[in-house]
A and B are shown apart, each in its own frame.
Chain A
Amino acid sequence: MAEHDFETDGFDFSNVANKLGVTRRTYLKFCAGVAASLGLSTKASLAMAQTIAEASKRPPVIWLHGQECTGPTESLLRSEQPSLAHLILDMISLDYHQTLDAGAGHKVEEIKKKSMEENKGKYLLVVEGAIPVKDGGIYCKIAGETMLDLTVEAAENAAAIVAFGSCASWGGVQSASPNPTGAKGAQAILPGKTVVNIPGCPPNPANFLGTVLYFVTFGKLPPLDEQNRPKWAYGRLIHENCYRRPHFDAGRFATEFGDEGHKKGYCLYKLGCKGPETYNNCPSLEFNNVGGGVWPVGVGHPCFGCSEQGVGFNKPMFSLADVKTHTPPNNFPAIDDRQQESGISPTAAAIGGAAVGAAIGATLVASKKLGNKDAGGDESSSSDDQGK
């Protein structure tokens, strides 16, 4: 899909209600919301709305499950956005999804093969779950084939690959030491391919939807960071936007669960919060669109670092995080910085000194005169002299 014509003002959204089961108003509001969270304009949101409403542009999606708990799918199904399930099912053509498919067995596998053949280079591949590679990948099989083979096969002709969840992004819990099955993320077994990572355990459905909608609308992937995570969602540390941050800066820490500081909502860094080394948008979106301040830090538990490779499932839960925000420039004085003497500049001091000097000089001259007068035997008082 090339760049879209943005003249969507005249587009008829009236059949949206019949097609998606939502009102036109709800639908446009949803699209505007997604566009806003992606940092896009109103025009882009209209383009997005049009793209989704047009049936012909629904891209087929092949969804693979590897070693995982189906958490990403579950969180996606439970997202609180209006009729999100309708949208996700209608804006894309979900041709294969082991959890949501009505059918089962050979028939479903046939449909998958058929869809992949028909839509070569057009379908979106979503990988959910880690891929074991030890002993030829025999530790995870679907329909007699290893997950390793299935993933490589499906990735071959995919238009884009999205790894949804920490397991698919970098291996997740099963890749933690000792990793008996040799579990790896999709990126690791697909060298040379761009895999968009949406890590999280479970990942926020908004991060997935936003990325997929961007792809569907503009036909290209959103800007990615060096770990191939969409920047709009994973551009900042949790620590940077955390509303407990002022407590961190002021040295107010909860030291134990249930202590006074914990009850008062102090910073959870001392309890092992991994917010300072985990990139995600949890403080602004909270946990899986549930709302009401519901996310680990919001309910008083330190961030676990579930979305960050090498942190979640790898670092001990209550060990301290490495704070990553103080790389320069930051507000720290250099070693040889000296405090300016507040209020008195060198110039002011010099002027002040000169004034004092002048006063002393004048006094000296006056006293000399006084002395001369005394020597001359003149009758004079000091008050007279001061008058001169």
Chain B
Amino acid sequence: MAITFKNVDYFYNMGTPMATAGLKDISLTIPDNSYTAIIGHTGSGKSTLLQHLNALLKPSSGEVQIDSRVITAETNNKNLKSLRKKVGIVFQFAEHQLFEETVGKDIAFGPMNFGASQAEALEIAREMLTTVGLDEKYFDVSPFDLSGGQMRRVAIAGVLALKPDILVLDEPTAGLDPKSRQAMMDLFLELHEKRGLSIILVTHQMDDVADFAEHVFILEQGQLIKSGTPQEIFNDYQFMLDHGLGLPKATQFALQMRQQGFKVPTLPLKESELVDLITKQLTETEQ
């Protein structure tokens, strides 16, 4: 299932003196079964773009094609529900959406909205709870008794319970400790590789972009200013630095090596690539 944007504009407060552009002439394609990263500063239009992915917002002009459905400004608000089952969005600080008495019921909330019976929904909930790495003993606990990281997992399970084809994650690891961060990023990779979910990740962590993404879109002030594979994007490191976006740690390290006179033929993005580079340098100097 692919998502295509064609010349999408979006204005906030349409028809008032306070109208401001959220998105300007965005055209992009997110292919089926891909791992895409969207990066950009706060206020660059990332969240606005996300809300177009399951028609929470409709373009002011242009069109968004989700699977075979075309969404334009004229699209009726009814019958958009089926899209929301296909594209699951985990919003920023997703733990703030929990409301049910028990973790199990909260995860089952989504499937029940899409017509699953209570028994079916609870069955799915139980499965998803373990998928996100929480013990089954939490099933009947109040979500408000959990830690922040655990609540985040429950919220993600609540979206996974819809069994979406595309999982959209808006800074899913913001505010988590390093260990939970790692566990969560591993979970998304597993969902992508083993279950064939497309992942769309909004992030400020360039290391995550380098480690996981297959394709990157960069937004600035509502416009798409660059796109490409992580390698293409970070090879143009001057562009990244000029736009204040930062680089992966391995790339930063390699650039400093280059400044010190070491030979860095291709810029490493991941830690493993950096290790290879350094080992190569060491063996060469020994010879």
Partners in one complex: no
